[in-house]
Structure 1
Amino acid sequence: MGLPSPSFSFTIPSVYDDTQLECRLYLPPQLQRLETAPRWQKRGAIIAHPYAPLGGCFDDPVVSTVGGELLQAGYIVGTFNFRGAGESGGKTSWTAKPELGDYFSFYGFMVYYLHGLNPGRPSGHSRAPSETQPSPPSIAGEEGSQQSSSPVDLILGGYSYGSMIASHLPKVDVVMKLLANTAEGSSTAAIRTRAQHCSAHWNKEFQARVQLQSSRPGSPDSVGKPSHVALGYGSDSSPKDSRGDALDNIMRRVDRSKRRLSARLSRSEPQMVQVQDNTNAGTASGDARQIPTPRISYLLVSPILPPITLFLTMFSRMSLSTEVGSGTSVQGAHVLSPKPEEQLCAHPTLVIYGNRDSFTSEKKIQKWSDELASVPGTKFQYREIDGAGHFWHEDGVETQMRAALRVWLSHTLQVGSSQTPP
């Protein structure tokens, strides 16, 4: 079972240079029932797609397969198109630095979005007698809903080229500091606003359905299949000349102008490590809350290793640089990527690959995996699928990949709640 139709389709700007990125969100079944939604633990996963010039995009069948398993396990799944893929703007780069900025942008969106979700019951809604847990915070009818201060679980994943980008992301504490230093009118502020709009939409819809059930005791205890919501561009279900898109286009141009003006007039010092929890990117809010650092994991499917990665990045060490873009939230910060091996050993990681991969030899990837798995205190795990190639077309290999992923997810879900972010 792959991914169904998305719950949300939207665009966000890349922090690298404001290139518009086509994005999708898929909500798990656990958020479709009123009795399971309040107990749902916030967890999300990002699955990045293969190399765009070779046909990679978020509609890739392997991305759909992996995403479908994560969805059934209770994860909100997020996918996006790198620049040059699908309806995203721009072109694929030779250095992968812009693509690293693209991934970072969606990473930030998921952090904001998961934080903003509030699958609790409105105050006054009756619970079944067997439920002894304290009532979750009430759901506000507006975007400024009360939000849980507990950390979320977030899987940083990718397939093929997407796994290479995911493994080079900055450390999670660096990511949180960059997100916290959000200047008014910046790309990060626009991403935050988009995330807040999406989470507020779900909160309002959930509240309305809970209230409907309260007024009709005999109605089915189900939220029902969420309606598809399209925001901005990149959705076939949203006409390009619609009234909503026309307004979004105007606001996007205004935001871009504000970012450029902000870049020219301000080279301000970093703000405190807090995220402004306002819903208007151009209006500062006095209610600033620190978002808990998420517990991250890595999921890499058919990762590509040197010399392929060296070719794709033109022999340049990857880094996140926003100097190219105007008005970026980190004000020209240049952030070097840590060594992937350090991050993959420090955080729960699963690598799945086939021993007939045409891009990376079995001997090389097995040696690399064994070395990481033998590091003292490592959290790195791997699974080699016999007979599987890079594209997972061979008979029976997809079933084995699914099984390996389920085992890892089951273990991750069991230990995740007892861990604290580094």
Structure 2
Amino acid sequence: MPLPSPTLSFTIPSIHDDTVLECRVYHPKCLMPTSISQITVWNKKAAIVAHPYAVLGGCYDDPVVDVVSSTILEQGFVVGTFNFRGAGGSKGRTSYQSKPEQNDYLSFVGFMVYYMHLLSPPPIPTDLSVFARSDPELHNLSPVPSQALPSPRPSDPRYVTATIKSSKIKVSNSGPRLLLAGYSYGSLITTYLPPILSSVIAQFQNPAEGSAHAEIRLRAECLATQQNEAMQAQISALLNAHSHKRGRSLYADDLVHSPKLRKPSSGVRMGGEENLRRASHDSHRSRSSFSLEAPEMVRKSVDRVRSIGKTTRFSPKRHNTQGPTAPSHVANGSRSSIEHIDGPGRVQDTVVYREVPGIGHELQTAYLLISPLQGLVSNLLTLWSSRSWKDQLSDHEMKLTVDPSLVVFGDDDVFVSVKRLRSWAERLTEASNDSGRFRYAEVKNAGHFWQDYEAVKVLQEEVKAFVETL
């Protein structure tokens, strides 16, 4: 199933040098339900999928990125994709040392961590499951035998099989989860991300006024607030419509008024420093042509901070967060962590970013690498900046043996020999000490670009099986 239209389409500045990056976020059905049966608990799970090398045409519209992202989305994850510098409509040029791209990725990590932390769908009524099961429209949802997909059979030549090494991944499902994924060049960047993200997240806690960190955090909070309101309206309307149809109410307030069920929006577009009216926003490309603009509250909030950032963007000075504060915006009963301060005699207002207690402390990370680049190719793309010539695991690669990780590659990769990929994966397996945290799949007849239909089916099955354990 291809990706639907994104829930959000927006831009953020890179923490590397303020380069404007295109981003998209997709919500699972539990956060954008269209029926009672889709109202389920979202367990604070999100994923980021990075695309192939921009110089060779890679961008977030890549077919493999689409397949992997849609598979993860179906498992109830909020999924985010973005264009590295020089890809698609993102500004700048592709580098030759990968460091700017690593910071591009970390910029989106910062956004996603705050966004998923602040995203808060309304509570689900305790009797919803029993109530929903009483609806005859929800019966017989299991596929008939002719619609069910058969499992791959090793003895049947019509099916492609995967070679799986190491035991089943054993992870804890408690706490928020962030899956960091990448395909091809995207997997290379994912591999070289810092093993521990707490130091990265800390930079967003007290950002300098007008800095990239500040604007990314503002974007996350504004969009999360807006989506919280939209989810509240959508889910309440569904419950009201269904309860009135069944002659009962799940909420006491539903007896007073019952809003009509709103048709879900096709997405919200929100800009960064670029002109919201620029021609690229009317692109004819699939899944990127939106006509809806961000609500006035969101747009004004961003413009307000951006006006401050025009003179302070490159200033290292940080504002004193212990100063006076003004009432902040309240959404779903929780105070905003961003406050606007106005005072007599001030030329312009000031923005205070309060620390969000506990953010990232319980965050569990996982990794998914599709067709990773190894050997000479990876050395050329990074100019040997992060790795020695010897075939040994780097500190960044060792994180794959500590956090739940899955590597999937084909036996017909034109960029990296399957022997090298297999040897690298075996070293990671050995380094994991059979903990079950690391796993890899070698897929028969799969090339670097995954053009074989049966191989793609195996890729989907492996990704699904892995994500289900997170």
- TM-score normalized by structure 1? 0.78
Q: Say which SS state the counterpart of residue 374 (structure 2) adopts.
A: coil
Identity of aligned residues (%): 38
1:312 equivalent in structure 2: 381
Runs of at least 4 residues off by over 4 Å: 34-38, 213-216, 219-224, 238-253, 265-268, 279-282, 285-288
1:26 equivalent in structure 2: 26
1:159 equivalent in structure 2: 183
1:13 equivalent in structure 2: 13
Superposition deviation, residue 289 in structure 1: 2.5
2:429 maps to 1:362: no
Give the direction of change, closer, same or farther, for the CA distance of 1:2–1:259 in structure 2 (3 Å limit): farther
Counterpart Cα distance in 2 of 1:400 and 1:286: 46
- Indicate if the aligned counterparts of 2:211 and 2:314 stay in contact, CA closer than 8 A: no
- Indicate if the aligned counterparts of 2:446 and 2:452 stay in contact, CA closer than 8 A: yes
Gaps of 5+ in 2: 132-173, 251-260, 283-288, 321-335, 342-349, 388-393
Superposed counterparts of 1:98-177, under 5 Å: 98-121=100-123, 127-128=127-128, 130=130, 151-170=175-194, 171-177=196-202
- Indicate if the aligned counterparts of 1:21 and 1:82 stay in contact, CA closer than 8 A: yes
Q: How many residues align?
A: 367
- Indicate if the aligned counterparts of 2:206 and 2:355 stay in contact, CA closer than 8 A: no
Counterpart Cα distance in 2 of 1:283 and 1:267: 8
Gaps of 5+ in 1: 132-149, 269-275, 319-337, 414-422
Computed over aligned residues only, the root mean square deviation of the Cα atoms, in angstroms, reads 3.3
Give the direction of change, closer, same or farther, for the CA distance of 1:213–1:369 in structure 2 (3 Å limit): closer
**Bigger shift: 352-361 or 206-215?**
206-215
**Bigger shift: 226-235 or 165-174?**
226-235
Q: Say which SS state the counterpart of residue 88 (structure 1) adopts.
A: coil
Q: Which of the numbers 203, 206, 212 marks the counterpart of 2:231?
A: 206
Give the direction of change, closer, same or farther, for the CA distance of 1:215–1:285 in structure 2 (3 Å limit): same
Larger radius of gyration: 2
Superposition deviation, residue 266 in structure 1: 5.7
Counterpart Cα distance in 2 of 1:347 and 1:288: 25
Q: Say which SS state the counterpart of residue 3 (structure 1) adopts.
A: coil
- Indicate if the aligned counterparts of 1:32 and 1:224 stay in contact, CA closer than 8 A: no
For residues 188-240 of structure 1, the C-alpha deviation after alignment (integer angstroms, 9 at most, x for no partner) is 11101111111111110121234435654336998864431000156433579
For residues 72-92 of structure 1, the C-alpha deviation after alignment (integer angstroms, 9 at most, x for no partner) is 111111000000011101000
Counterpart Cα distance in 1 of 2:450 and 2:400: 23
2:369 equivalent in structure 1: 300
Superposition deviation, residue 292 in structure 1: 3.6
Amino acid at match of 1:20: V
Counterpart Cα distance in 1 of 2:6 and 2:236: 25
Superposition deviation, residue 248 in structure 1: 9.1
For residues 381-420 of structure 1, the C-alpha deviation after alignment (integer angstroms, 9 at most, x for no partner) is 100001100000124110111111122122x23xxxxxxx
Give the direction of change, closer, same or farther, for the CA distance of 1:106–1:370 in structure 2 (3 Å limit): same
Q: Which of the numbers 283, 302, 321 marks the counterpart of 2:351?
A: 283
Amino acid at match of 2:337: D
**Bigger shift: 286-295 or 155-164?**
286-295
Q: Say which SS state the counterpart of residue 225 (structure 2) adopts.
A: helix
Give the direction of change, closer, same or farther, for the CA distance of 1:405–1:254 in structure 2 (3 Å limit): same
- Indicate if the aligned counterparts of 1:15 and 1:188 stay in contact, CA closer than 8 A: yes
- Indicate if the aligned counterparts of 2:267 and 2:292 stay in contact, CA closer than 8 A: no
2:440 equivalent in structure 1: 382
Superposition deviation, residue 181 in structure 1: 4.2
Q: Say which SS state the counterpart of residue 386 (structure 1) adopts.
A: strand
Superposed counterparts of 1:68-79, under 5 Å: 68-79=70-81
1:218 equivalent in structure 2: 244
Counterpart Cα distance in 2 of 1:283 and 1:394: 52
Q: Say which SS state the counterpart of residue 244 (structure 2) adopts.
A: coil
Counterpart Cα distance in 1 of 2:306 and 2:464: 44
